[in-house]
Chain A
């Protein structure tokens, strides 16, 4: 790989051990994937934050690093709400470790906002064609697909290395040739809201790591695109998708229709909703906000809960900044007995582990909860989730879409 003189010097250790290791990671990954050079990035988003996932091993590594990040860098969700951590019964030991991880990142100059939707935050705008080093799989999918920026699915150490150097190796989804559709997905049935998460869950399993182009009969909203990409990145490892007539890259570039074609039909999505009837247990916990709720989703939750009282645990996840921006929605939601939780989510927080059946409106959470939280999972749209939490579902069971 070609390196500038300055990059060579960093690799030789002239800028200290942290930067030497950081650039060695970038160069090695570049060599493995055939990159010709390093390219500047606009921002980084770093995975490896929850103590539940990285443990003492990760904490030790991050704490030992020096220097400051050179580009705006932000964190993935942590294992708990960093302010109200005892709200979900997190143990003081876990909280202590989790705070140490966040403080270690803070020392490196990382913005300690923990969210999987950083593209909604002020000062963290992403534009078409920007090169980034982002980790969180749903955020990667969103910025690649919906915005037309360019990032690989970075691991925690490689995203942090990219932030410390301000560059990443030019391979994978930074290159035009790897963003071209490889499989065409035709969906004839009309879709709305959580149908997109169900579609993503079904499609990701079939597509795996290929680049799909969807032909839909309706135009999805931003939150629906977010749900589709998040689910495909979880059940498969789709990092970029296109939707004919919707996403920016396919509208600007003249892609050829791929030879490989699949069709997804309504009954395949209905099977996901059938989970409500198939599980052994009633849902004990209902969670919304995977990926983190947007302002529109918070508003909808507030509308559904206004003046009502929940009879089951209902957790709404969002970023701290969005929660701060809409105090009225938060007040309405919390008045119902539901909890609004920031900085974390149902997948990476150990709080979910104490429930044996969880209801979600997210294809991503549907994919991860059985393995990561050892719980049964039930799928429904947002309205059904709220109904379940209000304890008014008997009459609707089995008719959940």
Chain B
């Protein structure tokens, strides 16, 4: 499935879907990668090594640097898929070398499920579902 390249590189991981936008400053612990924002769709979950799917970024421009810190601490997502990326997350993904694709030809929330194993090829602008998660109860 094709999308738009935001940050190059290629990585695979398990899908973690967030229906809420993410502010990396304040919402995510830069050491552990656990989402800490109260009432957030994925509060308490770790984004570490996941293919993190969220609509778009929000909040402070410092968020870009926090993504870099996550990467250096080994707690960054393996790759990111957005509906439409805004500059804070775009810049953060590039400086952290996290592959990022947005504007997929199909809505990622309808075709991807938590736990699916997905490859994100940021350099060539596509994603590929390698393994569907068997248990589809969790949404």
* A56 CA / B30 CA spacing, docked (Å): 10
A111 interfacial contact with B, CB 8 Å: no
Contact with A along B1-12 (1 / 0, CB 8 A): 000111110000
Which residue from chain B places its CB closest to the CB of A156 in the assembled complex?
B61
B88 touches A155 (CB 8 A): yes
Which of B23-75 touch A at CB < 8 Å? 30, 61-62, 64-66, 68-69, 72
* A54 CA / B68 CA spacing, docked (Å): 11
A370 interfacial contact with B, CB 8 Å: no
CB-defined contacts of B86 to chain A, threshold 8 Å: 32
Which residue from chain A places its CB closest to the CB of B60 in the assembled complex?
A53
B62 touches A157 (CB 8 A): no
Question: Looking at the complex, which one of A25, A54, A55 makes contact with B94 (CB distance below 8 Å)?
Answer: A25
CB-defined contacts of B72 to chain A, threshold 8 Å: 60
Most chain B C-beta atoms within 10 Å of own C-beta, residue among A24, A47, A55:
A24
A61 touches B94 (CB 8 A): no
Q: How far is the CB of A161 from chain B (nearest CB, A)?
A: 8
B85 interfacial contact with A, CB 8 Å: yes
Which of A103-160 touch B at CB < 8 Å? 155-158
* A58 CA / B91 CA spacing, docked (Å): 13
A21 interfacial contact with B, CB 8 Å: yes
Please classify the interface of chain A as helix (H, G, I), strand (E, B), loop, or mixed, using the class held by over half of its residues: helix
Given contacts A21-B95, A61-B95, contact A158 B62 (CB under 8 A): no
A95 interfacial contact with B, CB 8 Å: no
Which of B72-128 touch A at CB < 8 Å? 72, 85-88, 90-91, 94-95, 97
Q: How far is the CB of B47 from chain A (nearest CB, A)?
A: 15
A48 interfacial contact with B, CB 8 Å: yes
How many B residues are at the interface, by size bracket?
20 to 34
B68 touches A61 (CB 8 A): yes
A158 touches B91 (CB 8 A): yes
CB-defined contacts of B97 to chain A, threshold 8 Å: 21
Given contacts A61-B95, A155-B61, A157-B95, contact A32 B68 (CB under 8 A): no
* A24 CA / B7 CA spacing, docked (Å): 8
A29 interfacial contact with B, CB 8 Å: yes
A58 touches B94 (CB 8 A): no
Q: How far is the CB of A247 from chain B (nearest CB, A)?
A: 27
How many residue-residue contacts, CB under 8 A, span A and B?
Answer: 67
A14 interfacial contact with B, CB 8 Å: no
A28 interfacial contact with B, CB 8 Å: yes
Which residue from chain A places its CB closest to the CB of B72 in the assembled complex?
A60
CB-defined contacts of B91 to chain A, threshold 8 Å: 25, 28-29, 155, 157-158
B94 touches A57 (CB 8 A): no
A31 interfacial contact with B, CB 8 Å: yes
* A304 CA / B91 CA spacing, docked (Å): 46
CB-defined contacts of A28 to chain B, threshold 8 Å: 5-7, 90-91, 94
* A57 CA / B96 CA spacing, docked (Å): 11
Which residue from chain B places its CB closest to the CB of A33 in the assembled complex?
B87
A56 touches B69 (CB 8 A): yes
Which of A39-74 touch B at CB < 8 Å? 47-48, 53-58, 60-61
* A21 CA / B90 CA spacing, docked (Å): 12
Given contacts A55-B62, A57-B30, contact A32 B94 (CB under 8 A): no
CB-defined contacts of B69 to chain A, threshold 8 Å: 55-57, 60
Q: How far is the CB of A215 from chain B (nearest CB, A)?
A: 33
* A31 CA / B93 CA spacing, docked (Å): 15
Q: How far is the CB of B77 from chain A (nearest CB, A)?
A: 16
Which residue from chain A places its CB closest to the CB of B4 in the assembled complex?
A31
B64 touches A155 (CB 8 A): yes
Known: A28-B94, A29-B90, A156-B64. 18 other contacts (CB 8 A): A21-B97, A25-B91, A28-B6, A28-B90, A29-B91, A31-B4, A31-B5, A48-B65, A53-B62, A54-B65, A56-B69, A57-B66, A60-B68, A155-B91, A156-B61, A156-B65, A157-B64, A158-B91
12 examples of A-B residue contacts, CB within 8 angstroms: A28-B6, A29-B91, A31-B4, A32-B86, A32-B90, A47-B61, A53-B62, A55-B62, A61-B65, A61-B68, A156-B65, A158-B87
